[in-house]
Chains A and B, each alone.
Chain A
Amino acid sequence: MTALPAPAAPPPVPAPRRLAPLRRAVRASPLITAGGAIALLIVLAALAAPLLAPYPADAGSATHPEIALHAPSLRHLFGTDQVGRDVFSRVLYGARVSPLVALFVLLIACAVGIPLGVAAGYFGGVLDEIIMRVTDVFLAFPPLLLALAFATVLPASLTSLTIAIAITWWPWYTRLVRGQAASVAGRPYVEACRALGIQRWRILLRHVLPNSVTPVIVQVSLDVGGVILTASALSFLGLGAQDPTPDWGLMVAEGENYFTTQWWLVTYPGLAILLTALAFNLLGDGLRDVLDPRWVPGVRER
């Protein structure tokens, strides 16, 4: 990088220096540690589901109606559902569904939102106005409501669910990145690049983009939980995954009518949603603190 000294704004922070505050944060905040540990466990459960699940076929199309609605036991740790499937196996495999939806939603949101935000922030003018007004239209609606509207018109499936949520998610990234990009675009080292005659796309890709996405890392980690909750809510309403997909939201929906008599049908997938959303939000919150230059270990501002 050929950045000149910039007294008005701090220079981009080199990556190695971030590890030290991260280590300090982990030491200082048990919540971050807990969030990270739970998130890691969920990822491991998802990866090792075929090894851990006692009845892997139950996460697919297998049914065993003769053992329907059996209570939790050593044979079926989380009991069986209305068609005799092992709830523990399905909850384990569910870790492969909701987090994956979150991953794809956030990938799409970033792929669309970041370039638009960078372009709006760097070029400004009419392009900025057009992009930001379109963004404002999307932001005017609550994300869940907008996703619900899109999911209703699309055929119920995981793909439709992912698309419906991604459509509502990208504007947040555009707005976030646009502010950063606008700030970076005015910095002396970028102006120096322009003065040296470096091509626009190179300035954008090499200088503006890398220095604008730091807040996105925090936002993504915070949004994992939000997307999982939204996806689960839409699946609960029958607009997402379809049986026999072991989606947690769908499992809660299917167990709804058995809640008072067979509590295990709703409780375990509900707890999985709760834990996953909580873990990623704790993690995101911690990361935000760590990457905030004003953050001091032990002093938390709210």
Chain B
Amino acid sequence: MNRHHTWAAAAAAALVLSLAACGGSASPPSTQQTAASEVFTYDTTAPVMVDGWDPATEYSDGIIAMSEMYETLTRYDPATHAVGPLLATSWTSADAGRTWTFHLRHGVVFHTGRPMTAQAARAAILRTIKLGGGAAYIWGAVKTIGTPDPYTLVFHLSYASPLALQASADYSAYIYDTQAGGGSALATWLNAGHDAGTGPYTAQTWNKGQEFEVTLKEFPQYWGGWSGPHYGKVVYRVVPQDTTAAQLLRSGQVTFVEQINPSLWSSFKGDSGVTLVSSPSWQNLLGQLNVKRLSLPLRQAISYAIDYQGIIAALQGAGVVSSGIVPPGLFGHFGDLPGYSYDKAKAAALLGQAGYGPGRKPLSLSLTYTQGDSNEQVVATIIKSDLAALNVNLSVQSLAWPTQWAKGKSSDAAQHQDIFMEYWWPDYADPYSWFTNLLQTENPPYFNLSYYSNASLDRMINQVEPLVATDKPAAGQLYRNMQVTILQQAPMLFLYNANYQYAMLSGISGFRVNPAYPNVVFVYSLKP
């Protein structure tokens, strides 16, 4: 480039920089040539759609696509607040929740062509337990699995557990063909972009890191059949820019947009071509406070220093104030817990106890959040602002999730942040996941990135799972006590409970938000 003649280029580049905000997208591939009425295009702003194809270990957004390819024994129904049949048509429990018998659906075939029998389901669950990844802890009580006949599974548990509920989990509960992949290792075969489920759709293409990342096609032998109107193809399209996603929906190039900022979402109001869906979720944004560095008064001070109502105002409908760790609508939620609200004076007094605060020495803290999430960015900016008013200098770092997580769980404590911001949601319709993953003693740390350890809380966590199976009111009371303990000890900030704000093309019926399966659409149930 001739740098002596750059003024015109400079002006053009500045314009380009401004216009870059408009985003852009590649030309659609041939999948878009199919009739629009048959193709359901799911638009996500997440950086990747599927980062692991093994149904035993996937523990992230991959379930959005996997839930179309794989099925579980039961499925949670938000209308009845109970689990309903899926691969299992009925089930019973005996021996005070220590023995569970599931009767399997007949005529179900894996995408590999093999029949789904009790032996195959047993093999899948045993493999998931053996690998121990994802949410494999849901099978933690299982001692043995019997198969008295080809369509009956009998679980013998070492302690009472709500197995029918756990079998509906969004992670590690999928039933798959362990014989898939021929002679090669199953994990290797799966991670090449294959699937071995029983769901209505099967993997057709996987373009890792590409905009059109995953394409699924209908599985002709699906047990539910294909009579009536159904989508024949599902395309997962990764569009990081909210504005581009909104434009794609306006022009009918995508069917469903998973997440756009509240302002853009509201801009569709009055647009007859687009249906807006807003619904409470079981997903909350948390800030895990590093208890190794922050004393109790400091943790409580930070909890009081944050303008929670301000966060809700800035989110413009995308969130509501939290009460404890469990979101509303989920068993274990209590709206009257003694939580924290914005109280600058209390925060200053608590900081003062530790020798910090206005007029004293400054306190420097670090916060990490996941890059690309505009809501997390807004919250981080508000927290920084609130803490700055109390002479606390917060260094905010936005990192790609793998980097953020690696830093948080690093064996080198010097790498650890003071506040780790992340979303959490349950693995099945119960709050157990928050406690066992985020708050139970862990060494080395994995998801407990507060590095919190409380023997009394650990005991309560161990007690609650059997109680859910045998004495639900007692389990509810225990969840309440656990939350009161957490609020007193303040190892984490409860920043807000997320509201789902979806936008989809009008004229599609059958869509129901199921908060037990975050952002999953269940395309088979839709009528185009």
Contacts and interface: CB of A to CB of B under 8 A. Distances in A.
A261 B267 contact: yes
A238 B17 contact: no
A260 B385 contact: no
B18 interface: yes
Contacts of A273: 14, 17-18
Nearest to B383: A63
A222 B3 contact: yes
B17 A249 contact: yes
Given A82-B378, A260-B264, A242 B21 contact: no
Nearest to A157: B395
Given A226-B6, A252-B18, A259 B11 contact: no
Contact of B10 (A60, A142, A226, A270): A226
Contacts of A278: 7, 10-11, 14
Contact of B7 (A82, A84, A244, A285): A285
Interface string A256-283: 1111111000110011011001100110
Nearest to A66: B313
B260 to A, nearest CB: 8
Contacts of A255: 21
A254 B3 CA distance: 29
Nearest to A224: B10
A5 interface: no
A243 B381 contact: yes
B398 interface: yes
B20 A229 contact: no
B18 A257 contact: no
B4 interface: yes
B135 to A, nearest CB: 32
B382 A244 contact: no
B220 interface: no
Nearest to A172: B3
Nearest to A282: B7
B6 A281 contact: yes
B263 interface: yes
Contacts of A277: 10-11, 13-14
Interface in A129-170: 142, 156
A216 B397 CA distance: 38
B4 A288 contact: yes
Interface stretch (B36-44, B142-150, B241-249): B241-249
B48 interface: no
A270 B14 contact: yes
A225 B7 contact: yes
A252 B21 contact: yes
Given A61-B384, A222-B3, A261-B264, A229 B377 contact: no
Contact of A238 (B266, B313, B398): B398
A254 B243 CA distance: 12
A63 B17 contact: no
Interface residues of A, number: 53
Nearest to B393: A61
B374 A274 contact: no
A166 to B, nearest CB: 15
Contacts of B266: 261
Nearest to A260: B243
Nearest to A31: B7
B267 A243 contact: no
A12 interface: no
B17 A65 contact: no
B23 A256 contact: yes
Contacts of B382: 63, 65, 83
B310 interface: yes
Given A83-B382, A233-B17, A254-B377, A225 B6 contact: yes
Contacts of B13: 229, 233, 277
Contact of B17 (A61, A68, A69, A270): A270
Greatest chain B CB density within 10 A among A65, A68, A233, A252 is at A65
Contacts of A232: 14, 17
Interface in A274-299: 274, 277-278, 281-282, 284-285, 288
A87 to B, nearest CB: 14
Contact of A236 (B7, B17, B22, B397): B17
B288 to A, nearest CB: 21
Contacts of B388: 60-62
A223 interface: yes
A63 B3 CA distance: 40
B486 interface: no
A256 B243 contact: yes
Greatest chain B CB density within 10 A among A82, A225, A277 is at A82
B15 interface: yes
Contacts of B6: 222, 225-226, 281
Contacts of B397: 156
Interface string A54-89: 000000111101101100000000000011100000
Greatest chain A CB density within 10 A among B241, B246, B381 is at B381
Greatest chain B CB density within 10 A among A60, A226, A282 is at A226
Greatest chain A CB density within 10 A among B13, B15, B386, B397 is at B13
B94 interface: no
A266 B241 CA distance: 14
Contacts of B79: none
A256 B21 CA distance: 4
Nearest to B245: A257
Contacts of B313: 65-66, 68
Contact of A281 (B11, B311, B377): B11
B3 A223 contact: yes
Nearest to B22: A259
A278 B10 CA distance: 7
Contacts of A225: 6-7, 10
A231 to B, nearest CB: 11
Contact of B264 (A219, A257, A285): A257
Interface string A98-112: 000000000000000
B316 interface: yes
Given A229-B14, A281-B7, 16 more contacts: A61-B388, A63-B385, A65-B314, A68-B313, A222-B6, A225-B6, A229-B10, A229-B17, A233-B17, A242-B396, A244-B385, A257-B241, A260-B247, A270-B21, A273-B14, A284-B7
Closest 9 CB pairs of A and B: A270-B18, A281-B7, A65-B314, A61-B388, A274-B14, A65-B310, A63-B385, A257-B242, A256-B21
Interface of A: 60-63, 65-66, 68-69, 82-84, 142, 156, 172, 219, 222-223, 225-226, 229, 232-233, 236, 238, 242-244, 249, 252-262, 266-267, 270-271, 273-274, 277-278, 281-282, 284-285, 288, 302
22 contacts: A61-B384, A62-B388, A63-B381, A68-B314, A82-B314, A83-B385, A172-B3, A229-B10, A236-B17, A238-B371, A244-B384, A252-B21, A256-B23, A257-B261, A258-B264, A259-B22, A262-B263, A267-B18, A270-B15, A273-B17, A281-B6, A281-B7
